[in-house]
Structure 1
Amino acid sequence: MKLNCDLGEFTENNDADIMPFIDMANIACGFHGSDAFTIKKTIKLAQQHHVVIGAHPSYPDVENFGRLSINITPDELIADVQYQIGALQALCTAENAKLEYVKPHGALYNDMMKNITIFDSICQAIAQLNQSSEKPLSLMIQALTDSAVFEKIASKHHISLYFEAFADRAYLDNGLLVPRSEAGAVLTDNQDVVSRCQALLDQQPLLSINQRPLPCHIDALCVHGDTPNALAMIKALRATITAQEQH
């Protein structure tokens, strides 16, 4: 199982401490946080530690850190997503680095998992960029108990999917995330997070906040870089995954 983290979101951060322990870095593209210099530094860090680079685009909403839904047209959304991927791609090119996938941020991520029109627009945005790319970009989405509709749309656009679970977020009974506005939405206890990771490594299903099993295919496990105690959490997860691999 791969470990991924949202990084490059703040000009003051602990990304240099986190990067050695992860496999995939979802790098902010400026619309919810970060700036060009921070993005460039994060790309260099990823290269230094042989971490796969992904674009982390958002709604244009720095004021709310991209965590509020915005009502925009599909064409506007496609342009916004392509603009952000393009910015990160240009900085990757300058550093001789490869951009390999896209993972939307915050409200945009949640909205694409609830609204097929938004998901299709994001796929269109990526597919249009892939037309002239030697290495097509993949799309990272939330693992669900039934992903058939997402797989069908992605296949239509010739996009491969990564499925991720969240180490530090609570789940609703329908498999979606508990909104951050609700109590218990973010898990901050390391033991809870490690226990979830170990259960997944042992082929046990995710459990909802009401202990309902949520069986699904998972390629990667995510920790948010701004979660309290994120560094200690990521170190504990890396140790757990490494121990399982060596078992």
Structure 2
Amino acid sequence: MVGQARRIDLNCDLGEARRGTPRWPASLAPGAGPDPDDAALLDVVTSANVACGFHAGNRPTMIATAVAAAERGVALGAHPSYRDGANFGRIEHDLDREEVARLVEFQLVELDMAARRHGTRVRYLKPHGALYNRIVRDPEQAAGVVDAVVRYADLANEEPVPILGLPGAVVLSHAEAVGVPTVTEAFADRGYRPDGTLVPRGEPGAVITDVDEVAERVVAMATGRSITATGGSQVVVAAASVCVHGDTPGAVDLARRVRASLEEAGVEVAPFAAPYVRPRGSVGDGSGRDAVGDGPAGEPGSG
């Protein structure tokens, strides 16, 4: 597991502006740039969790965000979810291990194939929304996510990409048991319970809106100091990456403030996974010749 130090990654969920739209609509022409807010956030964060089409996004947004991330030296991460565009991936689905594995592998393949055709690669995986929360505690679905990462590594004949998740999550312990790298993350604007878990959305203290408080808490996390949990107790949140949400009002200004506060405190802000740099003379010029096969057959459903 990547541990804590005076170096921290800032990750953000991106490519999610086109919620509920059909996948890969003709109205969004290939070659278009990323959403303006996403472009601004890519100038601040060091890792981009890119929606893979099942809760938001589509093939053109995947390509646009992946290319923009590569141009800025930002690591590209897959952000798969349940197939649940109507609810933005925030409703849990009762799937078995194999169903989850196929669901996640399909999305990982989609993003990585799009990225490879434009000279970059997926460097890690962070599930989205309800799936992210489910695999904190559900061994079967957690195993399915890990299976997807292992299968794709075998398909590509490469080492498995790291999985990004909450400290103590079942998915991280399962990944470590089979040799898949893991990275722990914290959340910049979320409240924490005394046991280090997040305050559920909808409960008092779940989301912190004061910019100064958010920046102070992130600096504390990055330097090994405690933060105030619900009830006034103190908790240490050990993490190698901090998520700044991109879909909240003022997200760009908040991200800038967080990064500036970290750098003022002497914390290096850098990706935990090195962004992919295409070797000189390799393919990947848009022809698709560097694709690793055709990916999983058929598009999985949500059960």
* Residue aligned with 2:130, SS: helix
Deviations 1:33-58 (A, max 9, x none): 11111111101110111000000000
**Residue 161 of structure 2 is aligned to residue 140 of structure 1:** no
**Residue 21 of structure 2 is aligned to residue 2 of structure 1:** no
**Separation in 1, partners of 2:172, 2:138:** 14
What letter is aligned with 2:225?
Answer: Q
Cα 1:57–1:185 shift into 2, 3 Å: same
* Residue aligned with 1:21, SS: coil
Query: Per-residue deviation at 1:197?
Result: 1.2
Identify unmatched segments of 5+ residues in structure 1: none
Contact 1:127-1:158 within 8 A present in 2 as well: no
Cα 1:200–1:156 shift into 2, 3 Å: closer
Higher relative contact order (CA 8 A, sep 6+): 2
What is the 5 A alignment of 1:70-81?
70-81=93-104
What letter is aligned with 2:263?
Answer: T
Cα 1:99–1:183 shift into 2, 3 Å: same
Q: Which moved further from structure 2: 214-223 or 40-49? A: 214-223
**Separation in 2, partners of 1:152, 1:162:** 11
* Residue aligned with 2:113, SS: helix
* Residue aligned with 1:132, SS: helix
141, 164, 183: which one aligns with 2:185: 164
Structure with max Cα Rg: 2
Aligned length: 244
Identify unmatched segments of 5+ residues in structure 2: 1-7, 19-34, 269-303
Contact 2:89-2:128 within 8 A present in 1 as well: yes
**Separation in 2, partners of 1:220, 1:233:** 16
1:126 corresponds to: 149
Richer in helix (by share): 1
1:18 corresponds to: 41
Query: Per-residue deviation at 1:150?
Result: 5.1
CA RMSD of aligned residues (A): 1.8
Q: Which moved further from structure 2: 202-211 or 23-32? A: 202-211
Runs (4+) of structure 1 exceeding 6 A deviation are none
Deviations 1:58-115 (A, max 9, x none): 0111111111111112211111000110100111111110211000001111111122
**Separation in 2, partners of 1:93, 1:237:** 31
Q: TM-score, normalised by structure 2?
A: 0.76
Cα 1:155–1:121 shift into 2, 3 Å: same
**Residue 75 of structure 2 is aligned to residue 52 of structure 1:** yes
1:95 corresponds to: 118
What letter is aligned with 1:87?
Answer: E
Contact 1:171-1:208 within 8 A present in 2 as well: yes
2:299 corresponds to: none
Cα 1:184–1:216 shift into 2, 3 Å: closer
**Separation in 2, partners of 1:70, 1:93:** 30
261, 268, 290: which one aligns with 1:240: 261
Q: Which moved further from structure 2: 202-211 or 124-133? A: 202-211
Q: Identity of paired residues, percent?
A: 33
